[in-house]
Amino acid sequence: MSQDGDGAEGDDARLLEAAQELLDEHGPGFTMAQLAEASGISRATLYRRVPSREALAQRLREAGMDPGEALGSSSRERILDAVQVMLAEQGLSFTVEQLAERAEVGVATIYRSFGDRDGLLRTFFEERGPRRMVVAHLGDLDAPIEDTLRSLVASLLRFAIGLPGLARTVLLDQSPEAREIQRLRRGSRSTFSRLLEYVEAQVERGALVGDPFLLAGTLVGMVLGSTLLFPSLASRAGRRASAARLRPDDCEGIERRAAELVALWLRGARA
């Protein structure tokens, strides 16, 4: 965990220093979990500061360090990037051959890296889906609730903005693809169930007030409404839809939207 008083600048300095050391010692194959441990920063803070390996590579370059090309553009990362694009375009119906063409790699490279199509999708959901973020953010019941939920909601917003159709499935478990997602999860708990467990625990501790299911469901609804409904509602209300629509690369806007949603939610949850 980061030390008190250091703030974001201190977190960033330790994070970038640790990343450069890991690159020097192990090359670009280190994991984000290793980076969190090496920097002494919680995973929640790490994902808030650098939500992806590509973002980390960019931060290193901005600091005058050389991450090399492999950190942000390895064939493995290109494949996962292509999965995100294919999921956004056509859901889970894409083939390995289509993915290989989009990622500009051979089919054999995909199988060598991930084993099979199921392994590929499991890796994508584990590394880029909300579940990893949920586990990282909701694991500490003693952390300030507002900070925890702001980090969580920002992560969910990024996911929902990038993959709106899949977000409905992952967060609500409602779509023709839901059974496929559940099979890939191998019985692990859903994002919503983990959030519900966190809210239940905070209600039991007296930190929140109300029906845990209603509270958790309302928070998820705010995330989905903010990403999927706001542009349409803005247009119908005669406002510029672009002002309500967030972009995946608008980190400041996403953080601001997350803070606004959590502040609104907490007004009712602490009443």
Contact status, residue 223 vs residue 216, Cβ threshold 8 Å? no
**Band of the pLDDT at 271, cuts 50, 70, 90?**
low
Highest-pLDDT range among 33-37, 65-69, 103-107, 151-155: 151-155
pTM above 0.75, yes or no: no
Write down all domains in the chain, each with its CATH number in brackets.
7-71 (1.10.357.10), 74-126 (1.10.10.60), 129-269 (1.10.357)
Residue with tokens 């625990």: 201
Contact status, residue 102 vs residue 86, Cβ threshold 8 Å? yes
Task: Give the count of alpha carbons within 13 A of 88, CB side only.
Answer: 14
* Sign of the four-CA dihedral 32, 34, 39, 44: positive
Name the residue with higher pLDDT: 69 or 83: 83
- Checking if the pLDDT of 242 tops 60, the result is no
